[in-house]
């Protein structure tokens, strides 16, 4: 039976205690942003937490429809990373738009395309679409950036696997192609 003011104070205390633990242990912290265009799901307020807890890596999940805002935060905040998971399930055009916005704008080391599926069929379809769209986006960029094929493969390996290994500290990096 807490008042609204007491609820907010308690919620703030809980989130800051969790962030403090993540900061002290250098743990990543995933935050669901967007996906339903809720006014409360904008990632912009997370810059304050990122600055207050610089040892905590914040991974913005989904990011749609806040593609530009998420990209801005990842570019200008050292400990904010992006994971476009679920975008291909919502609509492949969302991932296509995100890649167009983010590739060449944010450091490639801050971008991940994992899967957030609820069935093996959904995961298989989502990764197939993700790989197709990532290949398409990197092929377009590699022509503009004049990258050799091996560099395109390295970007893909990083976005699909190696960046997550680095952020979460689990697994072994893979070599491109």
What are the pLDDT digits (tens) for 134-150?
Answer: 999 999 998 888 888 88
What is the pLDDT at residue 37?
63
Is pLDDT at 177 greater than 80 in this prediction?
Answer: no
Distance CA 84, CA 103 (A): 12
With beta carbons less than 8 A apart as the criterion, state whether 109 and 158 touch: yes
The residue-averaged pLDDT of 4-32 equals 96
Contacts of 175 (CB under 8 A, 6+ apart): 157
- What is the percent of the chain with per-residue pLDDT over 90, rounded to a whole number? 84
Model's pTM, two decimal places?
A: 0.93
Confidence of residue 121 (pLDDT cuts 50, 70, 90): very high
């Amino acid at each position: 039976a807490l008042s609204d003011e007491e609820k907010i104070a308690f919620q703030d205390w809980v989130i800051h205690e969790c962030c403090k633990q993540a900061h002290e242990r250098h743990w990543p912290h995933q935050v669901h942003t967007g996906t339903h265009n809720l006014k409360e799901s904008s990632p912009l307020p997370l810059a304050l937490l990122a600055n207050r807890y610089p040892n905590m890596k914040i991974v913005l999940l989904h990011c749609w429809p806040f593609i530009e805002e998420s990209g801005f935060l990842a570019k200008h905040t050292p400990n904010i990373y992006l994971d476009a998971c679920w975008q291909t399930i919502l609509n492949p055009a969302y991932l296509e738009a995100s890649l167009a916005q983010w590739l060449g704008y944010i450091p490639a080391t801050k971008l991940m395309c994992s899967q957030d599926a609820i069935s093996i069929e959904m995961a298989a379809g989502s990764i197939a679409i993700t790989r197709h769209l990532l290949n398409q986006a990197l092929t377009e960029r590699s022509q503009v950036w004049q990258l050799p094929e091996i560099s395109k493969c390295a970007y893909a390996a990083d976005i699909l696997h190696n960046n997550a290994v680095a952020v979460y500290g689990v697994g072994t990096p893979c070599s491109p192609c």
